[in-house]
Structure 1
């Protein structure tokens, strides 16, 4: 079964069609085989044997009367009227040397077997020249007896009607299966679309449970899960708003006290501590806030990346931006800009030069951030995405922050149905690739 899986359809609709249609087709094929092998071929054999017997009898009568065509004429007339068999004697003629084979070889095989069993003379026949007749010729000592028999006397001509009925029934059953299976698959597809949209942070208010009982049950479970997650997000957002307000108030008072203090080394150290505390607070809140509060909209990512690079360039970082045409996608622009800014800031903190580029890769959009810094060992790529991870000293020299930049960037990318991956940069340092759907 293993090698066969590669050839099986992957979609639910195609697999359901295979489950319904394949047994019907196999059953129809078995019925057709049984019909042709047991019934149709048997009837055809009986008919061919009957015509072969008439031909043998007329040949024997002709040999008994000799070449007296006048004496043979009554027999030929009776054969035409009673046996529907036309007889014509061709003196001095010989049998043709070429023969055309019927598309249904069973017809020729059955007639040949019947003729050779009852006639001990050379026989030739053609079942293809005339649509409604069969041409049979028997070699005699003085010439050729040519017989023209009606086709329905030689073969069972209703076999094609049976085949048409089988094909028609299969087509009707397939059409009915397509209609019903499509109606069953559509709610599952809608549920998948709603789950994907919700996973990207988009509203899926259009979704309503439909379909079979099991599908409706899964849809209701999804809606309940969505309500619980949304309630959790709302509660977390409210909590973060309160925490932000409560923590910013004492920080503001500390800044005021520092501003009133006389100049001196202690004041500068305290100011740096307060600034670092405020930056850490912002990073904590940004990481915890996640995707709450921003709506999805079609955005020009080229302009968005340029803005993020320009903001990072104000800090003195050397950043090269590979310009690209307008690349639009449905994203939450504030979050994507924050993710790109984090990746650029991370690269600028660890390297002297940074290169940022935007490109399409099939149905996805990739934002590449390269640096010429010390890089990260490949076995520690995933560890770099853990919140508060700082890795080794080679990537932490003169580094501020709490180790949430990559974690926030990956969280943003995955909320859009994408991801952030790390690899070795062509510049010798680290490459961070932010990939999101481009549809």
Structure 2
């Protein structure tokens, strides 16, 4: 709100000054009616940039400028006729109309975005919950069937299905909670000097990932728990896209970078800007998840003062680079 007021004030001052510099030398060639209409432009621009109260101030200022520079007797302030009052009223009405229209349009966009996110959330959750629940139900029903004599290997496979499905549901809930904390600005960050090689090793210890992060990297300033979530989400997405994934690390100026690299189908360059938005499944878990993984990667990374970028892997695939400040 405050920044909008400052922006509107700058627009008002610049607009009124520019209009006066252009029109004042042409005073004898341009009618007063035309001058009055032309000063509506900076008033409307101020309303669009700064909101209602700044626009009302610009309307009063525009009326004073017109009165001082263009209404006889020149270079004096005074109400020479009812026309001066009418001009002020018109300026203020335009300011109110434009400011209200801009605010209404902005609110409509916000509501449309909320509705889109709600619809996407309901669709995704209904799909992503249904699948593991169906797996758990089917496995449990089979295990409880008294007419079936299951071999130990079959029982183990069914129990593994229950465990995997439960893990999927747990990950879903964790991602939703993480997104809600990010949206509410309630994410607690406890940054400390962190060894990136150790953080990566803790995540990929049981995964088929080629860990090439050198152990002599400078320490990064990061929250260890959030960093591991970032790495885990990136690795999960990469493994869903390609069987071969490797992670590298390097120092880059005042930052330390991690790169999660796969040789999968990749993401078109024009769509990479959308990858890190909630419920966008571009490059996120092979398009089968909620589309929250990369949104959480960006949110957690930025909360730690870092950056995240996606680029094409040479030869094909996707490379996601996470940059964190040096400790």
Higher strand proportion, which one? 1
Identify the structure with bigger relative contact order (alpha carbons < 8 Å, sequence gap 6+). Answer: 2
* Normalised-by-shorter TM-score class: 0.3 to 0.5
Q: TM-score, with normalisation over the residues of structure 2?
A: 0.45
Higher helix proportion, which one? 2
Larger radius of gyration: 1
